[in-house]
Amino acid sequence: MAAIDEEAAGEDALINNCRTKLEEIKAAMEEEINEKRADMEEPEDGWPEIVIEDSEIRVPDDLL
């Protein structure tokens, strides 16, 4: 779903709702990771960039 750009999605409610939900879930996952990192000592070379692939996120059933 996120691979379909906004222009191609147009007014398609399902695609736009899924895209929004995926972004919300990604943000929550990143926040959780950052909270866990806050309790740990940072490595000498720093934390790796947080990369969450769309394939790692499950779209909630209520959207489908």
Residue at 11 is within a domain? yes
**Block residue for tokens 């940072």:** 42
Domain assignment present for 41: yes
Q: What is the pLDDT of residues 22-61, one digit of tens each?
A: 889 999 999 999 999 999 999 999 999 999 887 888 777 8
Assess contact for 47 and 37: CB atoms under 8 A. Answer: yes
Question: What is the Cα–Cα distance from 63 to 21, expressed in whole angstroms?
Answer: 9
Question: Residue 34 and residue 47: Cα distance in Å, rounded?
Answer: 10
Q: Write out pLDDT tens, residues 1-26.
A: 455 566 665 677 877 888 888 889 99
Two tokens, residue 41: 């000592």
Indicate the number of domains in the chain: 1
Check residue 51 and report its DSSP letter.
Answer: -
Domain assignment present for residue 24? The answer is yes
Give this prediction's pTM: 0.69
Residue 34 included in any domain: yes
> How many Å separate Cα 53 from the centre of its chain?
7
- In a domain, residue 1? The reply is no
Full residue range of the structural domain in which residue 12 is found: 6-63
